[in-house]
Amino acid sequence: MGMLRGIAVVSAILGIGMLAAAGMGTRAEFWDFRTGLSLMRNAAYIGIAAMALTLIALFVTRPRGGALALLLASLFLAVITFAVPRGFSRKAQSVPPIHDISTDTVDPPEFVAVLPLRADAPNSAVYAGDSIATLQRAAYPEVQPVLLDDAPPEAFRRALAAAERMGWEIVARDSVAGRIEATATTTWFGFKDDVVIRVRATDAGARIDVRSVSRVGRSDVGANAARIQAYTKVL
């Protein structure tokens, strides 16, 4: 009976450790993102096994005191180990497989200063046109430009301040061209996504367009659209 509890606990610890390593190892560049995603997927399988073993141990051995607390903790870890990758997978399946989102899909803002940083990136910074614009409009109709009453210089100042508040690394700021370029790094895997903000004059003030593009991955799992929406709220 003690061995069954031990196997359940070890499985839970192994699963949560693999899940944590999937992101941290990718962020630290110990391996590429494909390896990290593979580790996360395998962690989910271990989580399922750990949940099953822990439940069996709970019902078969009927533990009390410290043994019960340990198995309940193992069950908690096992659930997390399965739920996080499962949530990631369900999110990926619910959004289109695109990684380039723009508030202007007809004339998207273009990158300039960021391009050398993306030289080795699998994903191109060249906008793919209607092939992704149609998918974006269907999935993220709320991604829209921001219209301000401010004159362009003030709008540019506000746009830059909002980008800094987002915690992005500002790569370039060109008030004459009305362009701000930045790099956002995701918390867990450390993915690098590049952002370009364009400020243009309108009859009533200024229009701000934002484009966010992932360097790796066919799908961004909705991250770029969420980033643009968060930015516009801050702005």
Task: Give the model's pLDDT for residue 156.
Answer: 98
The overall average pLDDT reported for the chain is 95
Task: Give the model's pLDDT for residue 1.
Answer: 55
**What is the spatial distance between Cα 157 and Cα 136, in angstroms, rounded to a whole number?**
28
Q: What is the pLDDT of residues 157-196, one digit of tens each?
A: 999 999 999 999 999 999 999 999 999 999 889 999 999 9
Q: What is the pLDDT of residues 201-228, one digit of tens each?
A: 999 999 999 999 999 999 999 999 999 9
Q: What is the pLDDT of residues 114-163, one digit of tens each?
A: 999 999 999 999 999 999 999 999 999 999 999 999 999 999 999 999 99
pLDDT surpassing 90 at residue 84? yes
Q: Which residue has the tokens 């269907």?
A: 138
pTM over 0.85: yes
